[in-house]
Amino acid sequence: MTALRTSTVAVVGTGTMGQGIAQVALVAGHRVLLYDTAPGRAAQAAGAIGSRLDRLVEKGRISADARDAARARLSPATALAELADAALVIEAILEQLPAKQELFTALEDIVTADCLLATNTSSLSVTAVAGRLRHPGRCVGLHFFNPAPLLPLVEVISGFATDEVAATTAYDTAAAWGKQPVRCADTPGFIVNRIARPFYAEALRVYEERVADPATIDAVLREGAGFKMGPFELTDLIGQDVNEAVTHSVWQAFFQDPKFTPSLAQRRLVESGLHGRKAGRGWFDYSEGAHRPEPRTAEPCPVPASVGLHGKLPGPAAVLRELIEEAGIEVTGDRTTGVAEGFIRLPGGARLALTNGCPATTPAQENCIRFDLSLDYRAATRIALAAPAAVSEEDLAEAVGLFQALGKQVSVIEDVPGMIVARTVAMIIDFAVDAAARGVATPEDIDTAMRLGVNYPGGPMEWVERLGARWVWHLLDSMHHQNAGGRYVPSWALRRRADLEELVL
């Protein structure tokens, strides 16, 4: 079995996602049948798809002849039995396991023996969806991302009983439709919704710990780490109810593993009906004329004339020496000095060092101001700083002034282990390394999924190469000792990778 190129494709469920999937199949040249249990809904969806095809013609993306041919291939179905000749049926109905099982059980008595059955579920087990079928091997997950016509990623999920031929056909079909498919084992959240959980969870945790406000957290992750949107504005766009439901589903599926624990703050937001943009308000107010809060940004401070560099700054932070010298600031000291942790010595005597998972207020490292991780310090336009409790205003001003001289805005946040970017990126990396080690997906597919599915500025398997597994492991291990409960325990896969890295060095 190869890609289904001209066969009939049926889509069950005609909401936004169902319509989007139908449009993708239609433009790819298939005859498409639309079915919905609500009377008249399929015909309305066909009309809406036709209107979108008109807009594609207006934008010059398809010809008028192609639009007319596509419209002729699109038909609403009034009964499930009309899907009998479909070679592929994709369901995009309610995210409820009994409803999906009931649908596929009914379809099995209607479609041919070689018809491929696909679920677009984003969080339910593909194995469970197929569990009541007589022939579960024909059932596969085809998880499109919204809006389906625009976003290229499709996760192809093999359930426990999915036949390899069925998975390969689904993969090849998605590729023939112009999508970028990735293969994935049936695991809670699949690739994207599993590995992306810390992006939201750590931001919410930082907020709950009163380290910074949502606008500042968003700005630090967006301007300091290169993420296209911050987690608070992104969950407002997704819908707080939708995002929280996926988080809760993944947490339950992993037997309430503390690494996936949902946020009480988000739960209260959902209970209040503040679901984000669609409700007019979530973390931010979207009503007409509403004021958008600004991130916490330090006032301009004097620029130090010189600083000392002792040891080697880890990972991407190593470029700071070049940036400081390019800013006209003298750098003294020996970069090869054998110190355990590289740091910058400020004129007043305070140290300035990359966060290592410990709080800045640590007796063993008195007067050490911490700066947050950036995946690219040259491109970053904002840096977060955390100061120990006893730091002087003069020392903190020197740290702020130094980064401002490098063209960065500075957000001074409350002292917390791992700060904002470092803890978020480290957790995402740990989830990705663990998923790869467990055979959820290949490292290449993981990076592809995270770049295309949630628009990350890079893939987490690429990040661990740049940062070093040892640095990531030590940061999480330090955070674990600061926060008992298991949330930050590094995975065994990350520890093994860190140990191998140390052996090579």
pLDDT digits (tens, 9 = 90+) for 195-222: 999 999 999 999 999 999 999 999 999 9
pLDDT tens-digit readout, 297-336: 999 999 999 999 999 999 999 999 999 999 999 999 765 5
Scanning 259-328, the segments in alpha helix (DSSP H) are 264-271, 320-326
Scanning 110-239, the segments in alpha helix (DSSP H) are 126-129, 164-176, 192-195, 197-208, 214-219, 231-238
The reported pLDDT for the residue numbered 381 is 98
122 annotated active-site: yes
Q: Which residue has the tokens 């949502």?
A: 214
125 annotated active-site: no
By residue count, the chain amounts to 505
446: part of which helix (H) or strand (E)?
Answer: helix 443-453
Structure tokens at 454: 């949630």
Of 227, 262, 223, the C-alpha closest to 246 is 262
Q: How far apart are CA 240 and CA 279, in angstroms?
A: 10
State whether residue 266 is helix, strand or coil: helix
**Given the residues 122, 249, 483, 491, the one annotated as active site:** 122
146 annotated active-site: no
The reported pLDDT for the residue numbered 337 is 54
Q: How far apart are CA 455 and CA 102, in angstroms?
A: 35
**Given the residues 123, 125, 193, 411, the one annotated as active site:** 193
Of 436, 438, 424, the C-alpha closest to 475 is 424
Q: How far apart are CA 204 and CA 263, in angstroms?
A: 7
State whether residue 330 is helix, strand or coil: strand
Give the DSSP letter of residue 81: G
State whether residue 143 is helix, strand or coil: strand
Peptide bond into 149 cis (omega under 30): no
Q: Are strands 139-144 and 116-119 parallel, antiparallel or unpaired?
A: parallel
The reported pLDDT for the residue numbered 484 is 82
Q: Which residue has the tokens 């390899």?
A: 164
Tell me whether residue 288 is exposed, middle or buried, using C-beta atoms within 10 angstroms of its C-beta: 0 to 12, 13 to 18, 19 or more: exposed
Please state, in angstroms and as integers, the Cα–Cα distance from residue 208 to each residue in 203, 220, 252, 265, following that order.
9, 17, 22, 7
Scanning 59-195, the segments in alpha helix (DSSP H) are 64-73, 97-108, 126-129, 164-176, 192-195
194 in Cβ contact with 431 (< 8 Å): yes
Plot region of 235 (φ>0 → left; ψ -120 to 50 → alpha; else → beta):
alpha
Structure tokens at 364: 């063993």
The reported pLDDT for the residue numbered 123 is 84
Q: Cα dihedral sign for 68, 72, 78, 83?
A: negative
Structure tokens at 47: 């009309």
**Given the residues 91, 108, 120, 155, the one annotated as active site:** 155
Predicted confidence pLDDT, tens digits, the chain (505 residues): 566 777 999 999 999 999 999 999 999 999 999 999 999 999 999 999 999 999 999 999 999 999 999 999 999 999 999 999 999 999 999 999 999 999 999 999 999 999 999 999 988 999 999 999 999 999 999 999 999 999 999 999 999 999 999 999 999 999 999 999 999 999 999 999 999 999 999 999 999 999 999 999 999 999 999 999 999 999 999 999 999 999 999 999 999 999 999 999 999 999 999 999 999 999 999 999 899 899 999 999 999 999 999 999 999 999 999 999 999 999 997 655 556 789 999 999 999 999 999 999 887 667 899 999 999 999 999 999 999 988 999 999 999 999 999 999 999 999 999 999 999 999 999 999 999 999 999 999 999 999 999 999 999 999 999 999 999 999 999 999 998 899 999 999 999 999 998 887 6
155 annotated active-site: yes
Of 131, 125, 160, the C-alpha closest to 143 is 125
- pTM score, two decimals? 0.95
